[in-house]
Amino acid sequence: MPNAWLSTHLRAARPRVLAALNRAFGDIDLAEDAFQEASLKAHRTWQRDAVPKDPTAWLIVAGRNAAIDAFRKKRHETLTAPEDLEPLHEGPHPEEALTVKLDRAAYRDDVLRLLFTCCHPVLRRDQQIALALKIVAGLSVDEIARAFLIQPKTMEQRITRAKKRLQAAKLRYEEPDVKGRAERFSTVANAIYLLFNEGYSASQGSSLIRLTLCEEAIRLARLLVRLFPEEPELRGLLALCLLQHSRRKTRVCMDGDAVTLEQQDRSGWDRRNIAEGTVLLEAALRKGTPGPLQVEAAIAATHAHAPSYDETDWVELDRLYRALEIIRPSPVVSLNRAVVIARLKGPEAALALLNELEVPLERYASFHAARAAFQSELGQTSAALKSYELALNHAGTEVERKHIRSKLAGLGAKLNCGQDQDL
């Protein structure tokens, strides 16, 4: 059985399995170890034509039994196995009776419960989001560090400190009450958005899109909207995810190459996602308290409703990015605004903005790729080649690297033909 096929099943099941194990044992590290043991067992026993009817239930049972074994091995040290937890029969195919015994209704929303735990006020905000991405989304330290634009070693230390602080607080791993949820929903919303972003544009691996992460983020966003129906920023979160997700079928072509927004076939965009996202955004904006997620959703909606790339309302996008720079400043926001400025004022004005972002975005492939594109437009072919090479060095996915290599090949051909010499 190809590892890629099995990995797809494991990635899809991971959030709910890990959340269910954490609820059962109240120990994040133990839950992670148990999930790894269950995954190893799946590698040994699953076959393409004999996958369990409910892979999630199978992994919960296997992980639960692995955790109980771990408790028993350490009993002589400090741990004692919970009396009410006994190993369950796994078998190659958990049948309906086993699924009912586990009670899908009980673990259906465990992921959200675990997210609220990771976003507990005993942790700093940056620790909360980093831990949520590590525990719930299963992102690697390198992937999370890339999202925060910091070094992996720094991120690893941050996550380790966060886990220790949670353990020291001796928290009960349960869903917080209404007041507790209200205190944490903003951080949880941002964690869900970063989870969606990793699915929408993966930072590592062979694929540009990790569909299961996008779908899980949308599911969790819907749950949050039901919990807080009057909170406009949560409607903005769901609207943003849906509007971005609407383009999923057109972002990668049949041979696996990335397709830029300018080249995408807009007839292939999911109009139902766009319609729902638009309604949610309009309802959120009527509250009159626009937050960063609402502004980002408005940006996505501007693209979604443009008849073509050239007919996009670039003036409106510039206005929205300016607002975003004020309410949630970020080098990535400024990078995106530079792309808009290139459409409004030309590549030279955009390059001037990028020069101010070189230090914070030096490890960000999209920064170097954008600069290369602007340099190429200005006829600075040698400089563009160097920028694309830097982009290639920092690209995280094979799809991204393939796209950059095609740009390098095109510029190299022009240079060899004596075209577009640097001025």
Q: Please state the pTM of the whole predicted model.
A: 0.77
Query: Can you give the pLDDT at residue 87?
Result: 53
Mean pLDDT throughout 143-170? 87
Q: Which helix (H) or strand (E) holds 25?
A: helix 3-25
Q: How far apart are CA 137 and CA 199, in angstroms?
A: 10
| Residue 423 forms part of a structural domain | no
Residue 241 has pLDDT above 70, yes or no: yes
| Residue 346 forms part of a structural domain | no
Q: How far apart are CA 293 and CA 285, in angstroms?
A: 11
Q: What is the mean pLDDT of the chain?
A: 85
Burial zone of 73 (CB within 10 Å; 0-12 exposed, 13-18 middle, 19+ buried): exposed
Same domain assignment for residues 98 and 171? no
Query: Can you give the pLDDT at residue 350?
Result: 98
Same domain assignment for residues 89 and 133? no
Match 């030279």 to its residue by tokens: 348
Same domain assignment for residues 5 and 93? yes
Same domain assignment for residues 301 and 236? yes
| Residue 328 forms part of a structural domain | no
Q: How far apart are CA 227 and CA 186, in angstroms?
A: 13
Number of domains in the chain: 3
Residues 6+ apart with CB under 8 A from 340: 314, 317, 318, 321
Domain of residue 234, residue span = 230-311
Same domain assignment for residues 236 and 225? no
Mean pLDDT throughout 328-346? 97
What single letter denotes the amino acid at residue 23?
R
| Residue 362 forms part of a structural domain | no
| Residue 138 forms part of a structural domain | yes
Percent of the chain with pLDDT over 70: 85
Same domain assignment for residues 252 and 273? yes
Mean pLDDT throughout 362-377? 95
Query: Can you give the pLDDT at residue 82?
Result: 52
Residue 259 has pLDDT above 80, yes or no: yes
Query: Can you give the pLDDT at residue 176?
Result: 66
| Residue 283 forms part of a structural domain | yes
Last residue of a domain, one of 189, 209, 229: 229
Percent of the chain with pLDDT over 90: 48
Same domain assignment for residues 189 and 246? no
Query: Can you give the pLDDT at residue 227?
Result: 79
Q: How far apart are CA 62 and CA 59, in angstroms?
A: 5
Residue 161 has pLDDT above 60, yes or no: yes
Mean pLDDT throughout 279-303? 96
Higher pLDDT, 238 or 212: 238
| Residue 71 forms part of a structural domain | yes
Cβ neighbours of 216 (radius 10 Å):
23
Same domain assignment for residues 257 and 219? no
Q: How far apart are CA 400 and CA 383, in angstroms?
A: 20
Q: Please, are residues 340 and 349 in contact by the beta-carbon 8 Å criterion?
A: no
| Residue 373 forms part of a structural domain | no
Residue 134 has pLDDT above 90, yes or no: no
At 246, phi and psi to the nearest 5? Answer: -60, -20
